[in-house]
Amino acid sequence: MSSVPFTMVGAAGRMGRTIIDLSWSYGAADGRSLRLVGALENSESPVVGTDILREGASTGIRITDQASSALEGAAVVIDFSKPENTLAISRVCREKKTAMVVGTTGFSESQRKQLEEAAADIPILISPNMSVGVNLLFFLTGLAARRLAEGYALEIVDIHHRHKKDAPSGTALRLKEVLLEGANRTEDDVVYGRHGLTGERPPREIGVHTLRGGDVVGDHTVLFLGEGERIELTHRATSRNTFASGALRAALFVVAQKPGLYTMSDVLDLGSP
């Protein structure tokens, strides 16, 4: 069995821990797996210096705040952290020629541009959502937008747990981009929530709405509201394992690619809608 060594960035976070736990057995059935060799956290994290446990047992892999040592021996990095941390890691990856899977969200335009520049030297796969189902939702949304741009109101609803820090979610923003492209709209047509006397809805408007509460892992719905009918495309995640599995699948894909920028659509071979 071939085993691809990887480093987890954001190892103590919800997604980081889920990915690590799933990685111990991921790919065993088809003979191509991943092997954790490093775990990185920021220097303020109380878990720095502690062992990454596997079912309560020591692994000998200690969480560090030193990027260079965490990446030692890794063929690919899986990053679920913060934009500024991702950019710092990308510089180390460029030096070491290490592939990257980036699940971090909330990048500014300039930060995104820096990642694109790094992709000139290393393969980087970036996606706001690693779920296979969500990426199919992106595809289907684009397909519907191209055919229902006229005569249908376009709306997005994003629901997450109360701890989520960014709003709208990265997935909702990606769905917005898909609608803008498919329906030939611009950012000027987008409204984020509505309040007060808004007047009649402009026909080109795209609404983006955010709900936060409870323990919702992630729900996203795209609505196409027409006269006498409506179409709803919905994805509901009930476990973070779906995102973790997608991230591990992405890591196995990107490590075999040439330098460049990739998405989950490339992993799934979805092409254009």
Catalytic center residues: 160, 164
Question: What's the distance, CA 62 to chain centroid?
Answer: 25
Contact predicate 158/136, CB 8 Å: no
Residue with tokens 């092409």: 271
C-alpha dist (Å) from residue 56 to 14, 21, 96: 17, 11, 32
Contact predicate 121/260, CB 8 Å: no
Torsion of CA 108, 112, 115, 120, to 10 degrees: -150
Question: What's the distance, CA 17 to chain centroid?
Answer: 15
